[in-house]
């Protein structure tokens, strides 16, 4: 297993639409292992393949707390079958938008169909933080980031800040 580099905004790669996985084979499983390790290392509660530069419809999530047993969830080719009319709002962050947080409102529950680690089709009814996280990750598959839901001003301020940070980092490296 390898910890991969997480792409951060602004990076045109993050805006790419991911494509379906043809078959859940060992190569895909190995990618999911790397994604999970990268996510635990970050640390984060979810990761989409595009965040490590691979435009495939693959998501990993683990909502377990520090001292709890790990509970990795794998979603390949996820599809939302149903969403609740009621919204819930959570303070969201994103490993591709480092150190920025904002309250985002999304449907409170969702039903998602996907292939699991073994390529078996599953249906999951998610609520609360899991529902939020699934929707956040599925946005990544469409090239959408949580900052896209903020006002133009807030969004541009965040992108400006991140661009500056990147330029400073480049200067330090060079």
Smallest gap, in angstroms, from Cβ of residue 100 to ligand GNR? 11
Residues in the chain: 174
Burial label for 25, CB within 10 Å (0-12, 13-18, 19+), is exposed
By beta-carbon proximity to ligand GNR, the closer residue of 44 and 78 is: 44
- The span of 38-46, 105-113, 119-127, 157-165 binding ligand GNR (CB under 6 A) equals 38-46
**Beta-carbon-side half-sphere exposure of residue 35 (alpha carbons within 13 Å):** 31
By beta-carbon proximity to ligand GNR, the closer residue of 37 and 171 is: 37
56 binds ligand GNR (CB under 6 A): no
By beta-carbon proximity to ligand GNR, the closer residue of 26 and 86 is: 86
Residue 60: Cβ within 10 Å count: 26
For the question of residue 121 being annotated catalytic, the response is: no
Q: Are strands 97-107 and 58-61 parallel, antiparallel or unpaired?
A: unpaired
Q: For ligand GNR, which residue has the nearest CB?
A: 44
Q: Are strands 87-94 and 97-107 parallel, antiparallel or unpaired?
A: antiparallel
78 binds ligand GNR (CB under 6 A): no
Residue 133 binding partner per list Ni ion, ligand GNR, none, with a CB distance cut-off of 5 to 8 Å that depends on partner kind: ligand GNR
Residue 147: both structure tokens together:
């900052």
Near ligand GNR by CB under 6 A: residue from 44, 49, 78, 138: 44
95 binds ligand GNR (CB under 6 A): yes
Name, in order, each residue with C-beta under 8 angstroms of 162's C-beta and a sequence gap of 6 or more: 8, 9, 10, 97, 98, 100
By beta-carbon proximity to Ni ion, the closer residue of 121 and 128 is: 128
d(CA 170, CA 164): 10
Residues in contact with ligand GNR by CB under 6 A are 44-48, 51, 90, 92-96, 132-133, 136-137, 140
């Amino acid at each position: 297993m390898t910890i991969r580099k997480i792409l951060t905004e602004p990076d045109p790669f993050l805006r790419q639409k991911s494509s379906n996985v043809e078959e859940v084979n060992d190569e895909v499983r190995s990618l999911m292992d790397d994604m999970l390790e990268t996510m635990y290392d970050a640390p984060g509660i979810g990761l989409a393949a595009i965040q490590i530069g691979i435009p495939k419809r693959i998501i990993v999530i683990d909502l377990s707390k520090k001292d709890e047993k790990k509970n990795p969830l794998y979603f390949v080719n996820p599809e939302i079958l149903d969403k609740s009319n009621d919204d819930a709002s959570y303070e969201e962050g994103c490993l591709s938008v480092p150190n920025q947080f904002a309250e985002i409102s999304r449907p409170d529950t969702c039903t998602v169909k996907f292939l699991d680690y073994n390529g078996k089709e599953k249906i999951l009814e998610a609520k609360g933080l899991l529902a939020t996280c699934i929707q956040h990750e599925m946005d990544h598959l469409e090239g959408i980031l949580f900052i896209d839901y903020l006002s133009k001003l807030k969004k541009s301020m965040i992108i400006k800040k991140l661009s500056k940070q990147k330029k400073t980092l480049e200067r330090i490296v060079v």
